[in-house]
Amino acid sequence: MNKRLLLFSIFSVYALLACDFNKRLDTSGVVQELKERQVKRVNSAQVTSLVDEWGHVIVAELNQNLLKSIQQKTRIDSLQRLYRVTIQLGSPLKLQAPDLGNKVNQTLDAYQYNAENHLEAIDNIQTSDDGEYLYFSSPVVLQDQFKGMKTTDIQALGQATKLDSLTFRKKGDMLGLWLIRFTKKEVIRLVDVKNLQKLRVKIGTEAQEGEKK
């Protein structure tokens, strides 16, 4: 066989394989795009339920190694991209901002009150004043996250973040909050239609149990 013909044949086969591989890659992206563009009837209760579910997943991932999550931004960045959210960590007062709106800032005030009075703080979901965003907040409680660290390093960590007075906290005290902002439109885009059916059943069951009580 002519060498030129042989080379041409090899190149043709390679090009076909490469083309087929690229098509498969493109197909996965197209499938994801189609899923996101599906018409979905999602009510407020379902959106809130999704935010609650995803918020707990995100916080569990971040709290698994709190020190690493604070020092290395890659984990926060990857979660922000995956869920299309904005994640902040800080004390309630330092997280407050005018653009959060009255309801969210009032919630942060309540967290601050609980922290100052050593009261238990729980997870919370608050909707922005315009209804476009949902804020999932979760308290970070001091356990043994900074065990073995020098006092100067702990102080530097507090200064580098919106957390404060880390060296003066006792075990069980609230260090601060994870504040995660979900965009309502993105929640609807990301949810799978099959998951919606599960949510309908879950919400319906919870409603029935609430009526019994």
Residue 168 half-sphere exposure, CB side, CA atoms within 13 Å? 4
Q: What is the 3-state secondary structure (H, E, C) of 18-59?
A: HHHHHHHHHHHHHHHHHHHHCCCCCCHHHHHHHHHHHHHHHH
The predicted pLDDT at position 121 comes to 92
Torsion, Cα 49 52 58 59, to 10 degrees, reads -170
- Specify the DSSP class assigned to residue 149: -
Closest CA to 57 of 79, 36, 37: 79
Per-residue model confidence as pLDDT tens for the chain (213 residues)? 554 544 444 445 444 445 554 555 455 544 445 454 554 678 899 999 999 999 999 999 999 999 889 888 899 999 999 999 999 999 999 999 999 999 999 999 999 999 888 888 999 999 999 999 999 999 999 888 888 888 888 888 877 788 877 767 788 888 899 999 999 999 999 987 676 555 555 545 544 555 555
Identify whether the C-beta of residue 90 lies closer than 8 Å to the C-beta of residue 177.
Answer: yes
Q: What is the pTM of this model?
A: 0.75
The predicted pLDDT at position 76 comes to 94
Rounded to the nearest angstrom, the gap between the alpha carbon of residue 88 and the centroid of all alpha carbons in its chain is 10
The predicted pLDDT at position 11 comes to 47
10 Å CB burial of residue 6 (0-12, 13-18, 19+) is: exposed
Number of residues that this document lists for the chain: 213
Residue 85: Cβ within 10 Å count: 23
